[in-house]
Homo-oligomer: A and B are copies of this chain.
Amino acid sequence: MPNSLKEQEKQKGSWKQNPEAVQRDILRIATEEFSKNGLSGARIDEIAAKTKTSKRMIYYYFGDKETLYTRALEAAYAKVREGERKLDLADLPPDQALGRLVAFTFDHHRRNPDFIRMVMIENVHHAEYLAQSKVLRDVNVTAIDRLADIIARGEASGLFRPGLNATELHWQISALSFFNVSNKPTFSALYGGELYTRNGQQALRDNAVEMILSYVRAPVDHSK
């Protein structure tokens, strides 16, 4: 019987050293598993089985389960915030910039359900691991800075009402974009999947853009 592929791969202990790749591999699988099953739900043996390497190496590089989870959480944040940097809004007029930011955020969250689930899980854990991570504080302020810039330009041009708060606005955009992904399972189970069809999602996104834009624009007197 000729050598199977597996035998060829594992042939007589020959391998390359590549610490970064091994750690990336572990981290990728760990993110999948934690995101799918939660911190206590995920199994180290299961993670090990799905990596190209072994359980031993997980402990070699990460020490324990909680550290692995923290690293996976950090990596998820970093990856998502990295994806956001592609967006350049500085050249657009403030209302268009904001509309595009909302639409982008909505889509971006939708494309990264694993990240959303990591954040959900971290919230279930009262953010105790995130709170201990020094890495994470810095990555996230950029989101606020970008909004502050748009607000400043909007107010200066008179397009936006005065007194807007960047953190509040970020909260509102996040709420609409995050909930859409985080609560899809229960919402669909209770009210059907209409909002999660292609058309349903497009409507929710357009509505989100509209809600945010009409919120920031100088208010119109409804009393007359």
Contacts and interface: CB of A to CB of B under 8 A. Distances in A.
Interface of A: 37-41, 117, 119-127, 130-131, 136-137, 140-141, 144, 165, 167-168, 170-172, 174-176, 178-180, 182-192, 194-195, 203-204, 207, 210-212, 214-215, 217, 220, 222
B123 A183 contact: yes
Copies of this chain held together in the complex: 2
A176 B174 contact: no
Contact of A124 (B120, B140, B180, B194): B120
Contacts of A39: 41
Contact of A179 (B125, B175, B187, B215): B175
Nearest to A128: B185
5 contacts: A119-B186, A120-B120, A126-B185, A127-B188, A171-B187
Nearest to A182: B123
A222 B214 CA distance: 10
A145 B190 CA distance: 13
Contacts of A182: 120, 123, 182
